[in-house]
Amino acid sequence: MATNNHGLPVSQILKSKSEIENEPKKKSREDWRKAKELEEARKAGTAPAAIDEEGKDINPHIPQYISSAPWYYGTSGPTLKHQRPQEDKQKQFSTINEWYKRGVDTSILVTKYRKGACENCGAMTHKKKNCMERPRKVGAKYSSANIAPDEFVQENLALSFDGKRDRWSGYNPAEHRAVIEEFQKVEEAKRQLKAEKLNADGDNDYDDEDKDEDKYVDEVDMPGTKVDSKQRITVRNLRIREDTAKYLRNLDPSSAYYDPKTRSMRENPNPNQDDTYQGENFVRFTGDTTNHAKAQLFAWEAYDKGVDVHLLAEPTKLELLQKEYEKKKDQFKSKVQNNILDRYGGEEHFQLPPKSLLLAQTEEYVEYSRSGQIVKGTEKNVIKSKYEEDVYINNHTSTWGSYWRDGQWGYKCCHSFIKNSYCLGEAGQVADDIEIEPGKINEEVQHNKDGTSSEEHVESKTEKKQKRKQKKEKKTDKLKEALDAEEINRQKADQLLSVDERKRPYNSMFADKKPTPEEMEAYYLKRKRGDDPMEQFL
């Protein structure tokens, strides 16, 4: 065979005649011009598009580096087959259920040594130097006994892009069953040990719980929580959205103070009304809220004493502990009380009479008429208080506080506003009505008794009433004048406010005199109240 200098046969170097004819020929300048014109015509839509071997049109706008096939592809006309997936070269990827088989194949039982197998165990899938069994004294090649089964042949899996990056690829969920069974065995052993311990001690001592029991509450610092008492205490300082906002209870700015930062109102916003306001957060601390707070306090105290318990993590355990604690506490208290009574006596003082006697309930029959008078039976005795009744001091015939006038309390019998004063009787009432000096009271009363100055007394009393009436009318007239003046002042103020402040008269918005009480009252009556919700309505 003839070879060249490189040692290759000449037949591989020399091309056949058919291969030379199939090679693309070099185009002339005229052929390039015609091809270019045809390409432009196809892009413009004046010439039909090229057709591939499958009869499909080729888009003329496809770039040339995509539409032109390489020289080694061996095409005779326009085609795009080289850009499509090649079915013969497509790789079949493994499915999600395919994975390496593990262990040994026990379906085939071998009783005789096979040629080429492991000389130690007799398996066909490995050699003696790779055998993982203990070296036998007489190998399976010579004894033909206890031939080990063959391992599964580990084939290469064709994994896709996602399959190579699947962290759970090849995981068998049935393997987790062994973990569950082990956990159940541990829990069963714990219950048995605890039952044996309770039977041995004879008492349910919750302080000595198992140290390795699962902890539901970790002592960690978390944002928004407090761990001062070794517990997570979530601070809830937000109001419930269905609650009425406190600042809407009374729109008057001079009413009860409301602190927006802590959302707290210091006092009753409507003190003059029959309001149900009974303090801050009264509604939230009704019902089982107090019991929940007591349970939470008990949990904190128990945790400080060494008992690992939490209200939210173990509510049932906490409730049982609390009941047991209350029961033992009552037993301890009764035991201490009995010891004290046995030592010092006094048990007879705890023997109370029946409730019927304590509440003054008897079986006596009493019948009343429609007017409330007793027809049959005896009237029930009125229970008196521990204070002395119907006892008057200093010649008074009424009690202190039975008379009131002009914001002062006094005695009704003498109209005296001095507590523990001596009663002057009718003379005190006359002195209070006509407002005379106390030294002339007896003289005036004596004149009234003799009948010598009764007319003068009546005339002085009438004159006093007329003076009061005139004084009241005069005050009303002053108030009307002040209201009119206030209206005029408001109009002037509005006119001045509408003018540019640089054009206002000097000291036009300044007053140098003290307002009278009537002017102040007129100002309060006429002032605008921007926080009044009914202002626009009126």
Measured from the Cβ of residue 215, the count of other Cβ atoms closer than 10 Å reads 10
pLDDT at 376: 86
> Is the Cβ–Cβ distance between 66 and 83 less than 8 Å?
yes
pLDDT at 467: 81
Please say if the pLDDT value at position 125 is more than 80: yes
Length of the chain: 538
Find tokens 């888009």 and name the residue: 59
Please say if the pLDDT value at position 525 is more than 60: yes
Confidence of residue 66 (pLDDT cuts 50, 70, 90): very high
Q: In the structure, how many helices (H) and strands (E) does the chain have?
A: 14, 8
Cα angle for residues 196, 200, 203 (degrees, 5° grid): 105
Integer CA distances (angstroms), 471 to 22, 398, 467, in order: 136, 33, 6
pLDDT at 7: 52
Q: Provide the 3-class DSSP secondary structure of residue 271.
A: coil
Kind and range of the H or E element at 22? helix 17-22
d(CA 85, CA 89): 8
Cα angle for residues 399, 400, 405 (degrees, 5° grid): 120
Residues 6+ away with beta carbon under 8 Å from 75: 69, 81, 82
Beta bridge partners of 411: 400
> Is the Cβ–Cβ distance between 430 and 448 less than 8 Å?
yes
d(CA 95, CA 106): 25
pLDDT at 230: 46
d(CA 154, CA 103): 11
At 97, the amino acid letter reads N
The mean pLDDT value of the chain amounts to 79
DSSP alpha helices (H): ranges in 499-534?
517-526
pLDDT at 247: 78
Q: Give the best-scoring range by mean pLDDT among 175-184, 197-206, 246-255.
A: 175-184
Condensed to tens digits (0 to 9), the pLDDT of residues 312-346 reads 999 999 999 999 999 999 999 999 999 999 999 88
> Is the Cβ–Cβ distance between 269 and 255 less than 8 Å?
yes
pLDDT at 213: 43
Condensed to tens digits (0 to 9), the pLDDT of residues 89-99 reads 777 888 888 88
> Is the Cβ–Cβ distance between 120 and 128 less than 8 Å?
yes
> Is the Cβ–Cβ distance between 478 and 518 less than 8 Å?
yes
Residues 6+ away with beta carbon under 8 Å from 77: 52, 53
Please say if the pLDDT value at position 232 is more than 80: no
Cα angle for residues 62, 63, 69 (degrees, 5° grid): 95
Condensed to tens digits (0 to 9), the pLDDT of residues 417-476 reads 888 888 988 888 877 766 544 444 455 545 554 454 545 555 666 777 788 888 888 888
SS3 content of the chain, % helix, strand, coil (to 5): 40, 5, 55
pLDDT at 218: 45
> Is the Cβ–Cβ distance between 376 and 365 less than 8 Å?
yes
d(CA 150, CA 104): 6
Q: Provide the 3-class DSSP secondary structure of residue 3.
A: strand
Q: Which residue has the higher pLDDT, 258 or 48?
A: 48
Residue 411's φ and ψ, nearest 5 degrees, are -95, 135
Residues 6+ away with beta carbon under 8 Å from 127: 118, 119
DSSP one-letter string for 419-444: TTPPP-THHHHHHHHHT--GGGHHHH
pLDDT at 239: 58
> Is the Cβ–Cβ distance between 518 and 482 less than 8 Å?
yes
Q: Which residue has the higher pLDDT, 534 or 487?
A: 487
Confidence of residue 19 (pLDDT cuts 50, 70, 90): low
Integer CA distances (angstroms), 215 to 211, 308, 313, 530, in order: 9, 8, 9, 60
pLDDT at 206: 47
pLDDT at 339: 92
pLDDT at 296: 93
Integer CA distances (angstroms), 398 to 212, 416, 427, 536, in order: 80, 11, 15, 53
Confidence of residue 275 (pLDDT cuts 50, 70, 90): low
% residues pLDDT > 90 (the chain)? 25
Mean pLDDT for the stretch of residues 29-57: 91
d(CA 264, CA 267): 9
Please say if the pLDDT value at position 4 is more than 70: no
Q: Provide the 3-class DSSP secondary structure of residue 265.
A: strand
d(CA 13, CA 1): 13
d(CA 275, CA 232): 38
> Is the Cβ–Cβ distance between 374 and 366 less than 8 Å?
yes
Indicate the Cα dihedral angle 218, 222, 225, 227, nearest 10°: 50
